């Protein structure tokens, strides 16, 4: 039974976590579903923006289901659980479409790391953010000490990861981690996403690549994507492909 749903309505896609009985904690199946949906979204030109939401009023996402990883040997934990989760969250972060996390309730551990993989975040006033991994004898493993270090001030991140302090919506807004606090974060996020329907799809995609290259989010791939997109529109590329198909030497016009 699916626990990560994808719907598309009028150019706005919604990814919805649906495991409220476990506070939307991630299982291996949920990770696989999220990865598959990201592949689908990147190939759908009709999608202009992606909202990431979840079911329930108690938690946006409580992180990883402890029962899913507790039995792993150390090498398996690192290789299967941490690296695989990291890869999939990176896949979300590097979607070509703008993404908005709708944090309607608490986001802890992997749930906070999931929200940090989105481009912007809208948060309910009563929601809090936390990195409680040390309470169960582990450390953040899905970018909590890496991507979050680019999005939060170092002392604030240390408060959370080392001392277990929660970050309120007000402080998250003051830090620039969330774009807006709203009593109905889904409605607010939907309004923000709708603005993309009037903008250039290619311009927003390229702008996202440029920003990611600047901050180090998969910099190598972003630089090569930008360069490849530029050269793909050139007369030289058209001549090179034509010459290959016609089994002749290309005569490049330099345009």
Positions marked catalytic:
113, 133
State the DSSP H helix or E strand holding residue 17, giving kind and residue range, or none if neither: strand 12-17
DSSP annotation string for 42-74: HH-TT--EEEEEES-SSEEE--B-HHHHTT--H
Whether residue 143 contacts residue 113, with contact meaning beta carbons closer than 8 Å, is answered with yes
Q: Tokens 């970050």 — which residue? A: 167
Q: How far apart are CA 114 and CA 100, in angstroms?
A: 11
189-204 burial, b at 16+ Cβ within 10 Å, e below that, comes to: bbebbeebeeeebeeb
Q: Distance of CA 91 to CAs 32, 39, 190, Å?
A: 11, 8, 22
Length of the chain: 255
Whether residue 169 contacts residue 125, with contact meaning beta carbons closer than 8 Å, is answered with yes
Burial of 63 (0-12, 13-18, 19+ CB in 10 A): buried
**What does the block give as tokens for 67?**
């029962």
**What does the block give as tokens for 32?**
């696989």
């Amino acid at each position: 039974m699916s626990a990560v749903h994808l719907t598309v309505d009028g150019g706005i896609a919604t990814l919805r976590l649906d495991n409220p009985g476990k506070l939307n904690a991630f299982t291996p199946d949920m990770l696989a579903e999220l990865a598959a949906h990201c592949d689908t979204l990147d190939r759908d030109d009709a999608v202009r923006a992606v909202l990431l939401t979840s079911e329930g009023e108690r938690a946006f996402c409580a992180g990883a289901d402890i029962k899913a990883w507790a039995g792993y040997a150390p090498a398996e934990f690192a290789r299967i659980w941490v690296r695989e989760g990291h890869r999939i969250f990176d896949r979300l972060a590097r979607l070509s479409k703008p993404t908005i996390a709708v944090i309607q309730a608490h986001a802890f551990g992997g749930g906070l790391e999931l929200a940090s993989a989105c481009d912007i975040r809208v948060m309910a006033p009563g929601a809090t953010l936390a990195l409680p991994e040390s309470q169960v004898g582990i450390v953040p493993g899905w970018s909590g000490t890496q991507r979050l270090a680019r999005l939060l001030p170092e002392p604030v991140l240390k408060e959370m990861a080392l001392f277990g302090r929660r970050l309120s919506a007000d402080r998250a807004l003051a830090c620039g981690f969330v774009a807006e606090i709203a009593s109905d974060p889904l409605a607010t996020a939907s309004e923000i996403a709708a603005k993309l329907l009037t903008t250039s799809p290619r311009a927003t995609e390229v702008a996202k690549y440029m920003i990611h290259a600047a901050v180090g989010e998969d910099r190598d791939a972003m630089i090569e994507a930008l360069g490849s997109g530029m050269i793909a529109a050139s007369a030289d590329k058209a001549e090179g492909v034509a010459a290959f198909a016609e089994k002749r030497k290309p005569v490049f016009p330099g345009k």
